[in-house]
Amino acid sequence: MYQGSMRVDLEMIRHWRGRYRGDVNSGVVILFVLAGVSAIIDWWSVATGRRSVEVVAKPATLLLLIATALVIDPATPSVRVWFVMGLVLSLAGDVFLLLDARLFVAGLASFLAAHIAYIVGLLVSGTDTTAVVIGVILVVLAIGVTGRRIHGAAAKTDPRLAIPVAAYIVVISAMLVAAIGTVNIVAVAGAALFYLSDTILGWNRFVSPIPNGRLLTMMSYHAAQALLVLALLSL
């Protein structure tokens, strides 16, 4: 009985070693903590309307997460390449959205490209067919409940937004499906929070105001990006 228990324990150790092949050093911890502090400062600036602080803290958070991703010892180096691209493109989107409301489409395009980079990285890590099917069902339901409303309201606000918003909804939905397909709980949580963040943003901007909508958007957005960085340890 003892030997049987030992065999089970050894199998569990091998299993978790196979899933968590990356390594965390002190540099990763320091950068990740600094990114968290920067994110909290950004949330405070959004909640209190301190624009001058937000324009510094928001991009600083992504810069620190990019640095974390570069320092981290990833489970699969090629996945890290695509995720860093996603982070850099997200940073560009953040800057566009901070600069001028008229750059909304440019910001949207940057985040769309970021999601494509994330999709490639997630696919490189490998996906499970059954999980992908489940993901497709879930995003179809999400599009039916919220995506359709956001797209319709955006097109009504400005007909020129109809195609860009539709394309964005499709791509971020594909990113969530790819994450679910990896069956990696950290990646799934990160992608789901990204989806939630953009749903709040779109609903708040085009459908109807959400109490503390901008704050909720930023909190879920930063948490999403942080989780995707942490997912590099196991993808």
**Pair of tokens at residue 105:** 């489409």
pLDDT digits (tens, 9 = 90+) for 217-228: 999 999 999 999
Q: Can you give the pTM of this predicted structure? A: 0.88
Q: Is the pLDDT of residue 113 over 70?
A: yes
Q: What residue segments make up the domains of the chain, in order of their start?
A: 76-233
Mean pLDDT (the chain) is: 90
Sign of CA dihedral 160, 166, 169, 172: negative
Strand partners, 73: 23
Q: Is the pLDDT of residue 6 over 70?
A: no
- Cα separation, 146 vs 149, in Å, equals 5
pLDDT at 14: 41
- Which CA distances in Å does 56 have to 45, 95, 99, 123? 10, 10, 12, 33
